């Protein structure tokens, strides 16, 4: 029904079989093909099997199929009506995007670590003069910064399917542009747009820097304006290339829609909350070797990410720790702890972190996107990789201790750590649970000694909140002030929900097996309010006030003399039960055989007499 497209347009395809209708058409379908500029120039037509997606007719003799929303993936779309035995019965003209392949899309911000800067990245085809234009008025963007650009090839990644060049696997990811807006002030709102200085430009977006370090518009009590941010992990729920990735259906599309509504409410009433960032705690796109899913993911997050710094950490589906060891052990180092445990190390399906590294640029005070830290207002944020060696003496562990030690709690009293795999989570997956104990053995003492207030995580596709916990036990003062880190696991962003229950634990205060996201509101140096927003209820389902003076004793023993940790007690009881069962299996038949032998012997003796 249209030949010219805007980004995210839906195309309707009408079909009807002429009489006499064929006897068998149940497997017929419309194939959608993404034809690159290079293919167009070479007059190359895609093979019938080189489709990006298919939409089935469901055995109908006539009807209208909806194709899309179609993301501008730097190509033109071709639609074909294909039979079950791959014969092409009809073909559309090329459906071209009005703004062409150079339309700047997937715009997202990030903090640089400097208080007066904001980074912006975007994707398009190559352009001669990539820039960001910005200023204090929407209609007068008087300042300009040039952008650098990069991309990646299939050969940059580690193994298949990510290295397989095919429409549904690796295809040209476009050019990824990177610019930094400088000399900004935290008390001003800025407007900007990106693209080619003499060509296609994006829509105009707006942002405001987080409050200056040591400031968060605090009140003397727990009421009033807050410095707030969103937090979640495991967001994307991949679908076909022509399906609606942002559909408001309860998973990732609903998460981003509700966050958009939160942002719009605060724009209308800025006296309530001031959102300063989105924290995505690992497992970003779940692309698993498919470039088009990265294009969809960039579109999914753009509303929030183009207005708030989108800060990421790496998860197992972003970086498979075993995938690159043989290719380049310097770039992809060994992970002895996970290797000894037998942890699966190929969860990114060959991507081994390359798309994440290219598409996102985090502060440069650690190891790129893998570990880094930054400040906002009254908070210091430390981001770790759960997929790199974390044991004491490792590079990341040494960096973590140095980072925590350098925090000035007079300026940033709140201290948060983000790591994809949780230290505390009781969802009943035994392998991941025992892996969480490994993280506790190497990290928990340091997190407590340096008075980390909250540890945010994902990985499990659910929500769980602990008490202030250290050494497997809750530690609070009589007036409910936290004396240990609270662990908030918010891996509920949108990927399919866990199908296990919860183990019994003394430290879990709440947990839900459903989709949702977190909102963190910092009111002052001692009061923080956390909310879990349920996608099903479209509102707050769990919340907690965390009150802390951040000065509990250091160098506490994780397990004091005489204390038996829950997992040790459970393990002992399980071993005892198994031993009793084994004894029953072995001993009872033996006793019965012995008694039977005695009975036979007695009878023989009587007969002999």
Q: Tokens 């195309």 identify what position?
A: 11
Residue with tokens 């770790």: 384
**Calpha distance 450→555 (Å, rounded):** 9
CB neighbours of residue 589 within 10 Å = 10
Evaluate whether the domain defined by 229-547 bears CATH number 3.60.21.10: yes
Report the distance separating Cα 58 and Cα 242, nearest Å.
Answer: 17
What is the pLDDT averaged over residues 34-62? Answer: 93
Is pLDDT of 203 > 70? yes
* Residue 406: pLDDT over 80: yes
Residue 348 near residue 318, CB atoms below 8 Å: yes
Residue 302, SS3? helix
Least confident segment among 3-7, 127-131, 418-422, 552-556: 552-556
Provide the 3-class DSSP secondary structure of residue 515. coil
pLDDT at 218 over 90: no
> How many Cβ atoms sit within 10 Å of the Cβ of residue 250?
18
Tokens matching residue 329: 């052990």
Global pTM?
0.91
What CA–CA distance (Å, rounded) separates 391 from 211? Answer: 35
- pLDDT level of residue 598 (50, 70, 90 thresholds): low
- Identify each DSSP E strand in 432-552 by its residue range: 454-457, 463-470, 473-474, 486-490, 508-512, 516-522, 527-534, 539-547
pLDDT at residue 578, as a whole number: 67
Note whether 29 and 82 are within 8 A (CB). yes
Classify 100 in phi/psi space as left (phi over 0), alpha (psi -120 to 50) or beta.
Answer: left
Structure tokens at 46: 């895609």
Averaged over 93-107, what is the pLDDT? Answer: 97
Provide the pLDDT for residue 3. Answer: 87
Query: Which whole number is the average pLDDT over 375-401?
Result: 97
* Dist. CA 566–CA 426, nearest whole Å: 12
Check residues 165 and 237 and name the one with the higher pLDDT: 165
Cis before residue 435, ω within 30 degrees of 0? no
Confidence check: pLDDT of 94 > 90: yes
Q: Give dist(CA 14, CA 609) in Å, integer.
A: 102
> 548 pLDDT band (50/70/90 cuts)?
very high
Helices 291-305 and 252-268: crossing angle in degrees, nearest 10, is 20
Angstrom CA distances, 339 to 163, 299, 336, 435, stand at 24, 36, 5, 12
Residue 606 has pLDDT above 60, yes or no: no
Checking phi first, is residue 179 left (phi over 0); if not, alpha (psi -120 to 50) or beta? Answer: beta
Does the pLDDT at position 272 exceed 50? Answer: yes
Q: In this structure, what are the phi and psi dihedrals at residue 167, rounded to the nearest 5 degrees?
A: -50, -40
Question: How many Å apart are CA 462 and CA 428, to the nearest integer?
Answer: 11
Q: What is the mean pLDDT of residues 416-440?
A: 95
CB atoms near residue 551 (< 10 Å) = 11
CA 556 to chain centre: 33
Tens-digit pLDDT profile for residues 73-88: 999 999 999 998 999 9
Least confident piece of the model among 24-28, 39-43, 510-514: 24-28
Query: For residues 452 and 504, what is the distance between their CA atoms, to the nearest angstrom?
Result: 25
Q: Is the pLDDT reported for residue 567 higher than 70?
A: no
Contact 315, 345 (CB under 8 A): no
**Given this model, what pLDDT does residue 604 score?**
41
Mean pLDDT confidence for 242-264: 95
User: What count of other Cβ atoms lies within 10 Å of the Cβ of residue 88?
Assistant: 12
Within 13 Å, how many C-alpha atoms sit on residue 205's CB side?
25
Judged on CB neighbours under 10 Å (0-12, 13-18, 19+), 596 is exposed
The tens digit of pLDDT for each residue in 525-542 reads 999 999 999 999 999 999
Q: What is the mean predicted confidence (pLDDT) over 213-242?
A: 78
Domain residue spans in the chain? 4-97, 229-547, 565-596
Peptide bond into 69 cis (omega under 30): yes
Q: What is the per-residue pLDDT for 586?
A: 66
**Residue 222: is its pLDDT beyond 70?**
no
Neighbouring CB atoms inside 10 A of 500's CB total 13
Indicate whether 115 pLDDT > 80.
yes
Mean pLDDT over each residue of the chain, to the nearest integer: 91
> What pLDDT does 170 receive?
97
**CA-based nearest residue to 25, from 98, 82, 71:** 82
Q: Is the pLDDT of residue 432 over 50?
A: yes
Phi-psi region of 41 (alpha: psi -120 to 50; beta: other; left: phi over 0): alpha
- How far apart CA 486 and CA 199 sit, in angstroms, is 50
% residues pLDDT > 70 (the chain): 91
Angle at 150 between CA 53 and CA 144, to 5 degrees: 110
The DSSP 8-state label assigned to residue 242 in this structure reads T
Domains 4-97 and 229-547 fall in the same CATH topology: no
Helix-, strand-, coil-residue percentages of the chain, each rounded to 5: 20, 30, 50
Q: What is the mean pLDDT of residues 389-407?
A: 98
What proportion of the chain, given as a percentage, has pLDDT over 90?
A: 81
User: Hey, is 365 helix, strand or coil?
Assistant: coil
Three-state SS for 529-573 is EEEEEECCCCEEEEEEEEECCCCCCCCCCCCCCCCCCHHHHHHHH
What mean pLDDT is predicted for residues 141-162?
Answer: 97
Does residue 497 contact residue 468 with C-beta atoms inside 8 Å?
A: no
Q: What is the pLDDT of residue 454?
A: 98
pLDDT at 229 over 90: yes
CB 170 within 8 Å of CB 289: yes
Kindly indicate the confidence band of residue 609, based on its pLDDT and cuts at 50, 70 and 90. very low
For residue 219 the two structure tokens come to 């009140």
- Architecture in CATH of 4-97: Sandwich (2.60)
Mean pLDDT is highest, among 155-169, 216-230, 556-570, 574-588, for 155-169
C-beta of residue 225 within 8 angstroms of C-beta of residue 217: yes
Count Cβ atoms below 10 Å from residue 336 Cβ, excluding itself: 11
């Amino acid at each position: 029904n249209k030949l010219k497209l805007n980004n995210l347009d839906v195309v309707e395809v009408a079909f009807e079989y002429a009489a006499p209708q064929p006897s068998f058409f149940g497997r017929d379908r419309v194939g959608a093909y993404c034809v690159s500029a290079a293919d167009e120039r070479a007059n190359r037509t895609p093979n019938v099997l080189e489709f990006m997606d298919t939409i089935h007719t469901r055995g109908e003799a006539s009807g209208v199929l909806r194709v899309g929303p179609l993301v501008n993936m730097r190509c033109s779309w071709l639609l074909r009506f294909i039979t079950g035995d791959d014969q092409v019965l009809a073909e559309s003209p090329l459906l071209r995007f009005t703004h062409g392949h150079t339309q700047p899309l997937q715009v997202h911000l990030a903090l640089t670590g400097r208080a007066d800067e904001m980074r912006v990245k975007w994707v398009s085809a190559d352009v001669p003069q990539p820039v960001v234009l910005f200023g204090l008025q929407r209609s007068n963007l008087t300042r300009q910064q040039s952008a650098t650009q990069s991309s990646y090839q299939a050969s940059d990644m580690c193994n298949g399917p990510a290295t397989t060049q095919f429409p549904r696997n690796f295809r040209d990811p476009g050019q990824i542009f990177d610019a930094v807006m400088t000399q900004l002030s935290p008390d001003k709102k800025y407007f900007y747009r990106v693209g080619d200085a003499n060509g296609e430009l994006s829509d105009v977006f707006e942002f405001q820097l987080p409050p200056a370090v040591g400031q968060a518009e605090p009140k003397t009590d727990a009421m009033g304006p807050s410095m707030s941010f969103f937090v979640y992990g495991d967001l994307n729920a991949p679908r076909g290339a022509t399906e609606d990735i942002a559909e408001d259906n309860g998973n990732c599309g609903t998460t981003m829609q509700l966050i958009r509504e939160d942002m719009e409410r605060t724009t209308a009433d800025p006296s309530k909350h001031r959102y300063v960032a989105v924290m995505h705690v690992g497992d970003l796109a779940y692309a698993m070797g498919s470039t088009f899913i990265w294009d969809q993911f960039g579109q999914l997050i753009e509303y929030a990410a183009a207005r708030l710094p989108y800060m990421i950490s790496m998860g197992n589906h972003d970086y498979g720790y075993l995938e690159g060891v043989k290719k380049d052990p310097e770039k992809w180092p060994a992970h002895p702890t996970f290797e000894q445990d037998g942890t699966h190390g190929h969860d990114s399906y060959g991507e081994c972190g390359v798309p994440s590294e290219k598409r996102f640029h985090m502060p440069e005070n650690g190891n790129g996107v893998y570990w880094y830290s930054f400040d906002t207002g009254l908070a210091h944020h430390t981001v770790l990789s759960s997929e790199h060696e974390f044991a004491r003496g490792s590079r990341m562990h040494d960096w973590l201790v140095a980072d925590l030690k350098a925090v000035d709690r007079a300026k940033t009293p709140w201290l948060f750590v983000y790591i994809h795999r949780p230290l505390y989570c009781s969802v009943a997956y035994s392998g991941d649970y025992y892996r969480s104990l490994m993280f506790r053995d190497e990290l928990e003492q340091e997190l407590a000694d340096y008075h980390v207030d909250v540890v945010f995580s994902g990985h499990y596709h659910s929500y769980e909140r602990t008490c202030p916990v250290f050494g497997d036990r809750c530690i609070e003062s009589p007036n409910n002030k936290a004396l240990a880190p609270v662990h908030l696991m918010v891996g509920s962003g949108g990927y399919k929900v866990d199908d296990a229950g919860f183990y019994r634990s003394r430290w879990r205060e709440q947990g839900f097996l459903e989709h949702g996201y977190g909102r963190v509101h910092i009111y002052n140096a001692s009061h923080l309010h956390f909310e879990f927003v349920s996608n099903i209820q479209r509102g707050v389902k769990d919340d907690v006030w965390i009150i802390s003076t951040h000065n509990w004793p250091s160098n506490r023993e994780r397990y004091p003399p005489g204390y038996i940790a829950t997992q040790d007690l459970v393990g002992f009881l399980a071993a005892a039960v198994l031993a009793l069962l084994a004894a029953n299996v072995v001993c009872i038949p033996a006793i019965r055989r012995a008694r039977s032998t005695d009975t036979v012997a007695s009878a023989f003796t009587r007969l002999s007499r």
